[in-house]
Structure 1
Amino acid sequence: MRRSLLLTALILAGCDNTTISAAPNYALFETSEGVVYLINQNTGELKVISPARAVVLNHGDVFKDGAGELFRYLGDGNVEPVDGADWSANRSLE
C-alpha cells in the first residue's frame, strides 16, 4: 500500500511540473544603452526587438511603415491610412 501511494504521489507531482516544456520560454532583457533583447530561454537564442533609440509618435504624426504606406497616428495605438498625394500637398502648405 505504501509503495502504491508513494508511486502515485510521484506520478502526480511529475505531471504537475510545468518547468520542463517543449514550448519556448521567452524573457526580455534591456541593456543600459536601451537595446531590448528577446531571449528564448530554452535555446539561448537572442533577437533584438528594439533599436537603441526608441521612436516616439505624437498625436497627428504621419509615419511610413515597412511597406511604404503612410499612416497618421491617432493616439491610443490607433492609426488611419493617409493618401500620399494628399499628405504631400498639405505638407507644402505648412
Structure 2
Amino acid sequence: MAKHVIVKKRKKIRWSGLVGTVFTLALLLAFGTQVFVRTMNQSLANDIQDIENQVAQIKTENEAVKSEILALQDTNRVVAIAAEAGLKASENTVTVRGE
C-alpha cells in the first residue's frame, strides 16, 4: 500500500486584491477628510461672520456712548445744572454759595 503524501500548498498573496483594498480605503479616507474640512471651513466662516456682526454692533454702541458723553460734558449744561443747584460760576469755576 502506498503512502499518501500530503503536500501543503503555500498560500499566495494576491497583490492585486491587497492593492485594490488599500486604494479603496485611501479613497474613502480622502472623501471623509474632504467632507470634514468643508464642514469645518463653513463652521469657521459662520463664526467669523457672527463675530464681525458683534464688532459692528459694539462699534455702533460705542459711537452712541461717545456722543452721549460729549452731550453730558457740554459746559453750558454743567453751568445750568450748577445754577439750579445753587452754585455760582466765577471765572470758569463753579463754587458753592454759602451752605
Global fold match (TM > 0.5): no
- TM superposition score normalised by structure 1: 0.32
Give the number of the structure whose alpha-carbon radius of gyration is greater: 2
Higher relative contact order (CA 8 A, sep 6+): 1
- TM superposition score normalised by structure 2: 0.31
More strand by share: 1
